C-alpha cells in the first residue's frame, strides 16, 4: 500500500526544524524511519507533514567526555552494537542493539527513533531506564533535560511536547556492567518480553542496581522496588529470587496470544536470573 499524501521537509539545523515544528503541531519527526514508514504505508496512521532530521549534522555522533557518553539520536542501531567503547563500558546497551530486528533494520534504525516511538516492545527504552540515562530535548523555546524514568508516559506516548525534538542521550559511566535478555517467537521479531539488568558491584555486593523491562506493561518499566532491594545485597540465590518477585509485581501482564500471565511471569524470572548470573564479575 501507499501512504496518504504528506508534505516532506528536510531542515539542515535543529533551529530550522524547531521553527517549522512550531507552526505545524501535527507534523511527525522522521529519524531512521523503521517504525514510522511501515505505519504510514499500511495506513495505520497518517500525518500532514514529515520533518526529516537525517540531514542535520552532529546528531549522529558518539562522544565520550569524562565519565559520560553522549549519543546523538541519529546514531544507527548497528553502530551502537559495533562500537568497541560502548561494548566495553555499557555492554547492556551493546547487547540490546544486537537483539533488535535484523541487519537491514539495524543499519537504518536509530537509537533516537526507537526511544521516541514509545513502543513498549522496543528494546532501547528498557536499557535507558536501567542505565539511568538523561535525554536532551530541544525546541524553539530552548533546551531541557528529562530523565529516562520520566520520559515514557504511555503506549506510543512520551514526555516530548509539540515542537520538541530529542537531540541527545547522556549516560554516566559508573564502572557497572549489565546484560539484556529478551524472548521472542521468531528471529527479528519484537520481544514477547525482555529485561535490562545493570549492576555496579562493590566486591560481592551490589552497590547500585538498574533494571528496565520491555513489553511488560503499557510502557517500558523501571523496576524501582527490585532495584532498591538489590542495593547493598550480595547476589545469593535467595536475594535473586526475592528481587525476581519484586520485578514481577512491577509488571502489568495480560493473557494473550503470546502466553498466559503465569507463563510470562515465569519467563521474566528466568530471564532475570540468567541476566544477573551472566554479568561479568558476578558469581555464576
Residue 268 vs residues 179, 247, 274: alpha-carbon distances, Å? 14, 8, 10
Residue 21: partners with Cβ closer than 8 Å, 6 or more residues away? 27, 29, 51, 139, 140, 162, 163, 164, 165
For the domain covering 7-52, report its CATH number.
3.30.43.10
Q: Kindly report, residue by residue over 75-97, the tens digit of the pLDDT.
A: 999 999 999 999 999 999 999 99
Residue 76 DSSP one-character state: B
Please report the pLDDT score of residue 45 as a whole number: 86
- The boundaries of every CATH 3.30.390.50 domain in the chain are 180-278
Distance (Å, whole) CA 27 – CA 6: 9
- pLDDT at 3 > cutoff 90: no
Q: How confident is the model at residue 38 (pLDDT cuts 50, 70, 90)?
A: confident
Q: Where do the H-state alpha helices sit in 201-260?
A: 224-230, 237-249
Q: How confident is the model at residue 283 (pLDDT cuts 50, 70, 90)?
A: very low
- Mean pLDDT for 192-208 is 96
Q: How confident is the model at residue 157 (pLDDT cuts 50, 70, 90)?
A: very high
CATH architecture observed for domain 62-172: 2-Layer Sandwich (3.30)
Tell me which of 94 and 187 has the higher pLDDT.
94
- pLDDT at 180 > cutoff 50: yes
Cβ atoms of 86 and 61 within 8 Å: the answer is no
Indicate yes or no: pTM above 0.85: yes
Q: Kindly report, residue by residue over 98-114, the tens digit of the pLDDT.
A: 999 999 999 999 999 99
Q: Kindly report, residue by residue over 212-264, the tens digit of the pLDDT.
A: 999 999 999 999 999 999 999 999 999 999 999 999 999 999 999 999 999 99
Nine cell digits for residue 177:
556492567
- pLDDT at 131 > cutoff 70: yes
Q: Kindly report, residue by residue over 134-147, the tens digit of the pLDDT.
A: 999 999 999 999 99
- Mean pLDDT for 16-39 is 91
Cβ atoms of 62 and 32 within 8 Å: the answer is no
User: What CATH number matches the domain at 180-278, 3.90.1150.10, 3.90.70.10, 3.30.390.50, 3.90.1280.20?
Assistant: 3.30.390.50
**Given CA atoms 131, 116, 162, 21 in this order, what sign does their dihedral have?**
positive
- The boundaries of every CATH 3.30.465.10 domain in the chain are 62-172
- pLDDT at 36 > cutoff 90: no
The mean predicted confidence, pLDDT, of the chain is 94
Cβ atoms of 112 and 31 within 8 Å: the answer is yes
User: Hey, which bits of the chain come out as E strands?
Assistant: 7-9, 28-30, 49-52, 62-65, 68-71, 134-139, 142-147, 152-154, 157-158, 165-172, 177-183, 193-202, 205-214, 221-222
- The boundaries of every CATH 3.30.43.10 domain in the chain are 7-52
- Mean pLDDT for 4-29 is 93
- pLDDT at 1 > cutoff 80: no
**Given CA atoms 126, 127, 131, 134 in this order, what sign does their dihedral have?**
negative
| From 3-7, 48-52, 98-102, the region with the lowest mean pLDDT | 3-7
Would you call 26 helix, strand, or coil by DSSP? coil
Amino acid at each position: 500500500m501507499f501512504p496518504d499524501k504528506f508534505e516532506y521537509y528536510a531542515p539542515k539545523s535543529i533551529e530550522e526544524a524547531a521553527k517549522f515544528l512550531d507552526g505545524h503541531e501535527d507534523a511527525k519527526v522522521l529519524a531512521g524511519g523503521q517504525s514510522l514508514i511501515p505505519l504510514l504505508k499500511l495506513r495505520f496512521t497518517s500525518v500532514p507533514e514529515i520533518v526529516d532530521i537525517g540531514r542535520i549534522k552532529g546528531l549522529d555522533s558518539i562522544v565520550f567526555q569524562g565519565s559520560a557518553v553522549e549519543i546523538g539520536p541519529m546514531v544507527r542501531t548497528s553502530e551502537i552494537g559495533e562500537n568497541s567503547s560502548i561494548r566495553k563500558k555499557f555492554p547492556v546497551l551493546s547487547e540490546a542493539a544486537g537483539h533488535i530486528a535484523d541487519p537491514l533494520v539495524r543499519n537504518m534504525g536509530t537509537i533516537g527513533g526507537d526511544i521516541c516511538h514509545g513502543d513498549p516492545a522496543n528494546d532501547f527504552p528498557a536499557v535507558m531506564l536501567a542505565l539511568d540515562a538523561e535525554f536532551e530535548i530541544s525546541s524553539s523555546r530552548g533546551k531541557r533535560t528529562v530523565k529516562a524514568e520520566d520520559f515514557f508516559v504511555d503506549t506510543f506516548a512520551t514526555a516530548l511536547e509539540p515542537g520538541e525534538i530529542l537531540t541527545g542521550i547522556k549516560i554516566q559511566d559508573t564502572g557497572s556492567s549489565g546484560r539484556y535478555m529478551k524472548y521472542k517467537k521468531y528471529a527479528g521479531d519484537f520481544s514477547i518480553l525482555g529485561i535490562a539488568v545493570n549492576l555496579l558491584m562493590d566486591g560481592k555486593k551490589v552497590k547500585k542496581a538498574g533494571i528496565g523491562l520491555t513489553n511488560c506493561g503499557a510502557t517500558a518499566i523501571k523496576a524501582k522496588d527490585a532495584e532498591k532491594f538489590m542495593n547493598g545485597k550480595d547476589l545469593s540465590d535467595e536475594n535473586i529470587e526475592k528481587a525476581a518477585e519484586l520485578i514481577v509485581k512491577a509488571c502489568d501482564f495480560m493473557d494473550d496470544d503470546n502466553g498466559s500471565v503465569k507463563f510470562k511471569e515465569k519467563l521474566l524470572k528466568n530471564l532475570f536470573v540468567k541476566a544477573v548470573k551472566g554479568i561479568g564479575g558476578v558469581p555464576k
